[in-house]
Amino acid sequence: MQELDNDRLVWMFTQMLRIREFEERVKRTFEEHPGVIRGHTHLADGAEASIVGSLATLQPGDQLMATYRCHGYPVALGTETKAIMAEIYGRKDGLCGGYGGSMHLVDPSRGFMGTSGIVGQGIPQATGLGWAAQLRSRSHSPQVVLAFFGDGASKQGAFHESLNLASLWKLPVVYVMENNNYNVSTRSEQEDANAAAGEPLSVKAAAYSMPGVTVDGGDPVAVYEVVGAAADRARAGEGPTLVESKVYRLSAHGNIIAPPGVPLHYPEHEAITTFGNREEYEAALRGDPVPRFRARLVEQGVLEADRADRITEEVRAEMDAAVQYALDSPFPEAETAARYDYVYA
Amino acid sequence: MARELPYIAAVQEAIFEEMGRDESVLFYGQDVAPSDDDNFVKAYGRDRVRVSPISETAEIGMAVGLALAGYRPVVELLMAEFMLVAMNQVVNEAPRLRYMSGGQVKVPLVLKAGYGFTAGWAGQHTGSIYGMFMGFPGLKIALPSTPADAKGLMTTAIRDDNPVCYLINYLLVLEHGDVPEGEHAVPFGEATVRRSGSDVTIVATGWTVGRALAAAQTLAGEGIQAEVVDPRTLNPLDTATILSSVEKTGRLVLVDQGTRHGGASAAIAAEVAEHGFGSLKAPIAQVTALDVTVPYSEPMEAFVLPNEEKIAGSVRQVLGEAPVAA
Ligand SMILES: Cc1ncc(C[n+]2csc(CCOP(=O)(O)OP(=O)(O)O)c2C)c(N)n1
Ligand SMILES: [Mg+2]
């Protein structure tokens, strides 16, 4: 694991901000450009530190897989934000040509091997990537795979089957569970036996004889250290680790679900809408990882306030441009739906 | 007495009322009543109404166990695709146990799920995947297309002694219609004629029923009288009603929101080709979704789906009134 020098810390802050500003634009699109985004979007606001701290450990050749809550990873990996936004707007210039949409971003050129819209299903696929990485490591420098998923996904058989296999075969996978304590509007202690018993979800690792670590997912440096140590272990051939990264999602699970004709928008967080617990949500806002990290870097003298402001301005300009680009991008030709060379290779 | 209700409320009303009539009916699934401030919880308590983890294999497998033990579970699965992670329980356990036991056991359960949400939900949440369930004897499939049927078919699904995939077309959830108050059961295996006509039979299910009726309206303006038949359940399938309609009209257009290859419309076409060949004056036509994954972008999504124009065009074609491509 490399030391985080000042440049790297500023890079991390910048990436967190880019994810936040990107997601803000997605959310605002529902108000500012009604009808432009269809279907379902899921935002990473609140998880920026976890995503960036994890991705900061990647080395050339490493790969990752994620879920439908997937905008943050390619943003931080350097995929053009205008291509991501255009995909979410269903445009021809979108990252996936408008075929996939918000839930199915993929950019193999940057190691982002895709997502599943079905809870838990990316986990075994990432495990397969891990096997491939293990095979590549026989002749190249060791590579790892990061598998991202939610707390809820750890109640799928796919999770348990994968962790067992990965541990058995010492696959170089770091399983990063982003624990936001909710599955849509169900709280973890209502659906998870460990949570109900007051235990961290990382205890699940013990069943598969692998390390399980819980980390504050609002602290990118802490995440970097934990995921980095797990990645080092994986590169050394010692097998997988389960990292439980505790985050708070600052938006609702997704935009409202409604048939065509009903304008979509983001409702308030389920803490409020389902449980009437505004205080929980407001406490999370007070601990917002993005301003928290900025303040820390400024306080430590890593980043001057006016440089942070300049970065913020640049990031906002980038994201505004991404929105404009996506709005200006044409729709795909309808007939290109019948690209049978996309159905069968 | 009937009053107007949205389709989705009619579904919930049927479950609520059946739970009141029969203590063995249970209701659970993801995001079912996470808060106690819920009508089902207040009326029936946490013994019978539960929120479950995202564990479809266990949720559906447990329903099989509950059913074997004499309960009538209704499992909320949100979207039909989420059943796929538990495919073995759905198709290889629930529908087979009775037969393999030589009739000793029965497995009454309802798998309640949405489908066909072609509203920008992209590749993995839009499927009209009922066709694949048709190949499993023992598994019933209900596809309500109106609020009244939504209630009536759910009542029957809960009372049925077999596993039932009760599939809600998510494009219809806010459609309003008259729904009978109190007990209302629509029998399985009884198609309904939504519009009568003498020139052509259109068979449609779910959301495509409305599209077919709209096409029939347009065609009526051209002097073409289309009969629109809604099978309501695919298993059991009321082939008798379809065949007698075809006997009258001599022409058949099948509409299906699902893909063509191996889909529901292909199964119906085979029945009519075998048993109604003598009445056919033209080849059977199918207006289905294209054989692709549903794309996200709106123009491409629309291109993939059946619609009024495609249905009307197909009807004109079977009536020999459309120019034949050279
Ligand atoms: C197999 C399956 N079941 C249910 C769903 C519906 N669903 C989508 S996201 C979600 C909650 C997932 O919670 P978690 O894994 O904690 O991830 P989060 O969304 O909180 O990031 C559910 C239930 C699904 N997509 N797939
Ligand atoms: Mg979660």
Which atom of ligand 1 is found nearest the CA of B84?
Answer: 1
For residues B165 and B249, membership in a common domain is answered with no
Which member of B51, B52, B119 has the closest CB to residue A260?
B119
For residues B123 and B161, membership in a common domain is answered with yes
Question: What ipTM describes this predicted complex?
Answer: 0.96
For residues B136 and B205, membership in a common domain is answered with no
Q: Is residue B237 part of a domain?
A: yes
For residues B138 and B168, membership in a common domain is answered with yes
For residues B73 and B14, membership in a common domain is answered with yes
Residue of A91, A125, A120, A124 whose CA lies nearest to A108? A125
User: Taking the CB of residue B206, how many other CB atoms lie within 10 A of it?
Assistant: 26
Q: Is residue B105 part of a domain?
A: yes
Domain count, chain B: 2
Strands B109-115 and B72-79: parallel
The Cα of A29 is separated from the nearest Cα of chain B by a number of Å equal to 15
Question: What is the residue-wise DSSP string for B200-267?
Answer: EEEE--THHHHHHHHHHHHHHHTT--EEEEE-SEEES--HHHHHHHHHHHS-EEEEEEEESTT-HHHH
Q: Is residue B326 part of a domain?
A: no
Q: Best substitution site from A184, A249, A269 to test ligand 1's pocket, by max atoms within 8 Å of Cβ?
A: A184
Q: Which residues of A touch B123 (CB under 8 A)?
A: 99-100, 104, 117
CB–CB of B173 and A156 under 8 A? no
Which member of B122, B290, B302 has the closest CB to residue A103?
B122
For residues B172 and B63, membership in a common domain is answered with yes
Long-range CB contacts (within 8 A, 24+) of B44-47: B44/B19, B44/B20
Q: What's the pLDDT tens digit per position in A235-247?
A: 999 999 999 999 9
For residues B277 and B156, membership in a common domain is answered with no
* pLDDT confidence of residue B323: 53
Mean pLDDT by 10 residues, chain B (326 residues): 96 98 98 96 98 98 98 98 98 98 98 98 97 96 98 98 98 98 98 98 98 98 98 98 98 97 95 97 98 98 98 97 53
Mean pLDDT of A328-334: 98
Instruction: Give the CATH number, domain containing residue B255.
Output: 3.40.50.920
Task: Tell me, yes or no, if the pTM score tops 0.90.
Answer: yes
Q: Is residue B131 part of a domain?
A: yes
* pLDDT confidence of residue B326: 41
For residues B30 and B102, membership in a common domain is answered with yes
Q: What's the pLDDT tens digit per position in A277-307?
A: 999 999 999 999 999 999 999 999 999 999 9
* pLDDT confidence of residue A1: 86
For residues B104 and B39, membership in a common domain is answered with yes
In sequence order, the 6+-apart residues with CB closer than 8 A to the CB of A330 are A91, A92, A93
Second CATH level (architecture) for the domain A6-249+261-335: 3-Layer(aba) Sandwich (3.40)
Q: Which residues of A touch B31 (CB under 8 A)?
A: 183-186
For residues B170 and B226, membership in a common domain is answered with no
For residues B97 and B34, membership in a common domain is answered with yes
Q: What's the pLDDT tens digit per position in A139-160?
A: 989 999 999 999 999 999 999 9
Q: Is residue B187 part of a domain?
A: no
Q: Is B275 a catalytic residue?
A: no
Domain around B293? 192-318
Domain ranges of chain A: 6-249+261-335
Instruction: Give the CATH number, domain containing residue B106.
Output: 3.40.50.970
Q: Is residue B325 part of a domain?
A: no
For residues B226 and B119, membership in a common domain is answered with no
Window 72-101 of A: residues touching B by CB (8 A cutoff) are 87, 90-91, 94, 98-101
Give the end of a domain, one of B160, B180, B200: B180
* pLDDT confidence of residue B1: 85
**A&B contacts, CB < 8 Å:** 145
* pLDDT confidence of residue B322: 58
